[in-house]
Amino acid sequence: MAARELVEYVARTLVDDPEAVTVTEVRDEEGLLIELHVAEEDMGKVIGRNGSVAKALRTLLKVTAARDGGSVTLEIL
């Protein structure tokens, strides 16, 4: 599963409004930047208590990036 699809799948399962989830990829010289947009009221569910969900998602992305030999950064907007 590609990094973008992974982020989108996890985000859609966490939020109350899955239609508001959008994921965009931006490639730059440092690697891949994934921007996750969710509804304002779902922001806390994606970030989690003390950022635990966001940390777990970033860890999953690091594993997929290491498998592919690249670098992935996640921004939750």
Query: What CATH class does 3-76 carry?
Result: alpha beta
Q: Which helix (H) or strand (E) holds 74?
A: strand 72-76
Averaged pLDDT for residues 45-53: 94
Distance between CA atoms of residues 34 and 24, nearest Å: 6
pTM: 0.86
Averaged pLDDT for residues 35-62: 94
Question: Is pLDDT of 3 > 80?
Answer: yes
pLDDT at 1: 60
Q: What is the mean pLDDT of the chain?
A: 91
Question: Is pLDDT of 67 > 90?
Answer: no
Query: In the chain, what is the greatest distance between 2 CA atoms, to the nearest angstrom?
Result: 35
